[in-house]
A and B are shown apart, each in its own frame.
Chain A
Amino acid sequence: MVSRDAPAAATGTATPAGTGLVLSGLAVGHRTEGTLRRGRASTVLPAVDAVAGRGELTVLLGTNGAGKSTLLRTLAGLQPALGGSARLDGDDLLGLRAGARARRVGVVLTDRPDPGLLTGRDVVELGRLPHTGAAGVLGPDDDAAVDTAIDAVRAGPLAGRPLGRLSDGERQRLMVARALAQQPSLLLLDEPSAFLDVAARVALLGLLRRLAREQDLCVLLSTHDLELALRLADRAWLLDGAGSLLTGTPGELATSGAIGAAFDTDELVFEPDRGVFALRTRD
């Protein structure tokens, strides 16, 4: 059964109380920007209840415009929440100051930044900004954290190369390493595989699943790679496009028909037992 109101229940992996990410009644949306009419808000998701555990890979699914990015950007502190609460390991995530949040939440965005003359290692070292002093000088601990982050994404050979000469997949791995160098407990990724080819997508999702386990991270990522995500994820959050969030294990969401309800088209239908889309058979 898919849980709609009791987020902690009916999930595959048991999460000890108070760890990981817990959203309760979180309202997200956009305040009107770019005009003189400030303060008016358009709500995208009125009340989100969900849990993402430490050591787990949680995927955020939904069609375009369902609110995936809005939710992730709100959790990343890039836009204000409109209501409700989000707790990370028991602490109020939305109330954290920017510096404190950056030490606990690592973020990988869809953007492909072009920072100029930087090597892979330079970019990963930028992840230490929240940990260094005013001068930004790296200490031995910082160097070690950067080394660990580069090793974790197996980007050793990329570290000395200029960012401008790397492929999109290689860059995205380094952006993950940059987020890991912040030594977060929550890793948020907004469609990290958007510009990647199939091989790089599989590699990236596999990497994130491994990182969640190895470093006891809470990994939450949005993706359009539905079939791959459902196979690899421990937990899925499904935005139905009408402002509600359904949570459960991928299997639960598939068998309940929720995935099909959100993604089926006139031509394609989701087959829960095989976990793939198939052509709709005409009667």
Chain B
Amino acid sequence: MHGNEAAAEGAIAAGCRFYAGYPITPSTEIAEILSGRLPEVGGVFIQMEDEIASMAAIIGASLGGLKSATATSGPGFSLMQENLGFAVASEIPCVVINVQRVGPSTGLPTKAAQGDVMQARWGTHGDHPIIVLVPSSVQEAYVLTVRAFNLAEKFRTPVIVLMDAIVAQLKEKVELPDTPQVVNRPLPAESPEAYKPFAFTEGGVAPLAPFGREYRYHVTGLLHDEHGFPTEDAEVVSRWWRHMTSKIDAHLDEILQWEEALLDDAEIALVAYGGTARAAAHAVTLARAQGTRAGLFKPLTIWPFPEKAMRELAGRVERIIVPEMNLGQIRLEVERLAGGRAAVEGVNRADGLAITPEQILAAIMKVSRLAA
């Protein structure tokens, strides 16, 4: 199965029944496959005029009760930022799959990159919570897309599946669960009169009631009270912020996922994600064969970043190497969390070529000599 195909099938399995998008390399197969698969399951596919409209349409469909998604690459992801912010502010679940290519601007359309990591975190204006998942295999493209829908529904937030063209354009064997666990939207327990669609519950969210019939409410991108009416009352706004941040922060155990390999006795840790994690895993094997104790830390949730685990890792290894197909976006985060306890360096390229195991191995050997 192909990485983009796995994401498309993951969306169907998770219950996605609406897709709006504008095809763009290297994500096009997702739109192509869903244009056939969605009608087969009674869903709706629509090719929109642009990515601004695509993002708006999936928000509308989600509010109307359909699990919804769009897919794009860097140029389209830039256009989506305006409405992505609206979905964050109005707490509407939806999934955005960004298959990264080399940027900025039109960049290198068919070449792989991981340059949108910070954009996925901070692309829309204003402070905001967000969840970003990063698959490194075709299997994970499926599993994490299902998970993205589940987290979106559970925490009423947009979730971004941040793929890269290596994983998206890779074909490999997968073993898919027959029926993945799927989170569906609960109905509110309250009557329409008592229902607060944007209730400020510490560490939770109100169920998103079916919009437009018995439950009538106001949905806005303006900061709002628990009923959804705009407010400029600083006290209400600060309660809104507590609600927005705590709904994610109180559930980090559930949201954060990472994998560790051969870190127990490691002196050198690789921190790698997405397509680059594949080369890193291979580099670990090569380094071990030469007697160097290397291990791999692979985040599957990249935002929020697994901060506690990274602090712990920095306390038990001497050196951390962060290979990424960008100029060092996650390295900054790792450096901040290592706080000087482990030396951090990057292996970086953003020229459209994949980082090879040999490049990473060379970096491991260099720091290994420094350590010795």
Indicate, yes or no, whether A interacts with B.
no
Q: Which residues of A contact B (CB under 8 A)?
A: none
Q: Which residues of B contact A (CB under 8 A)?
A: none
